[in-house]
Amino acid sequence: MVTPTRTFGTTAAALALLLAAGAPATAASAAADARVGPLFLAGTPIHVCTGSVLDSTDGDLVLTAAHCIAGSGGALSFAPGYDRGVAPFGLWTVSQIYVDPAWLEAQNPRHDYAVLRVAPSGTTVPASVESVVGGGFELAPAPATETTVAVTGYPTLGDGPVSCTAATTSTDSYPTVVCAGLGDGRSGGPWVAGSRVVALVGGLDHGGCTDSVSYSPAFGAATLDLLRRAESRGTGDSTPFALPGTCTRS
């Protein structure tokens, strides 16, 4: 997550969650997952968010947070499995984006998710990102509370993935995970249960205003409809830059 107004102080909401959950989980460096990677500003070494490969009809779709995207997405590249300067599966250029109408109209945080179509950079060899990385995540509805998920992200100031495993809670119907150390850049990072991605860092306060608590929009019928629209290869969307997060939980 990259939000200029972000602060890292302990909020009252975060403190309440920490007390309720006991000792919080802490993110740690993790082995790279071929299906997860950072989103780079094209042509630069700067990565700003995290994405994950979806299981889809043509195998060319990636999930991230809508607030990570501006315009038609062409200024971004995806590097699945990226680890400490090495992109073992190459860079994939974003060619189309799909976002929910509620995000386009008012940047509704309950619809802070986006599906990206990607194509290999610098090659004419036909391939899909899903086939190259060995599969994608099934997109599934939001998890019930107390579901154990693995949250993975690429900190903006780091050069490899960090991950945290924790049980979900809920904040105003936003799935919530208490885990310290994920840091900026985690926005869009998948919350994985088994082989399914059931949430991502985003939604309330662009995914969280502290380093200890992360939120997700609640996936549901609209999220699955968005995936189907992307699979149909319709016209992509163009979205303005996300408004700064308001940190309502501060």
Residue 244 lies in a domain: no
- Residue 76: its pLDDT value, please? 95
Query: Angle CA(66)–CA(71)–CA(73) in degrees, nearest 5?
Result: 70
- Residue 165: its pLDDT value, please? 96
Residue 10 lies in a domain: no
Residue 243 lies in a domain: no
Residue 73 lies in a domain: yes
Q: How far is CA 234 from CA 40, 58, 99, 137, 220, in A?
A: 25, 13, 12, 22, 21
Residues spanned by the domain of 207: 28-232
Residue 7 lies in a domain: no
Q: Mean pLDDT throughout 215-238?
A: 97
Point out the least confidently predicted range of 124-128, 141-145, 160-164, 239-243.
124-128
Residue 6 lies in a domain: no
65-100 pLDDT, tens digit each? 999 999 998 899 999 999 999 999 999 999 999 999
Token digits of residue 162: 């960090």
Q: Please say whether the beta carbons of 66 and 242 come within 8 A.
A: yes
Q: Please say whether the beta carbons of 123 and 80 come within 8 A.
A: no
Residue 219 lies in a domain: yes
In this prediction, what percent of the chain has a pLDDT beyond 90?
75
How many domains is the chain partitioned into structurally? Answer: 1
Residue 192: pLDDT band with limits 50, 70, 90: very high
Residue 249 lies in a domain: no
Task: Provide the CATH number for the domain around residue 220.
Answer: 2.40.10.10
Q: Please say whether the beta carbons of 96 and 49 come within 8 A.
A: no
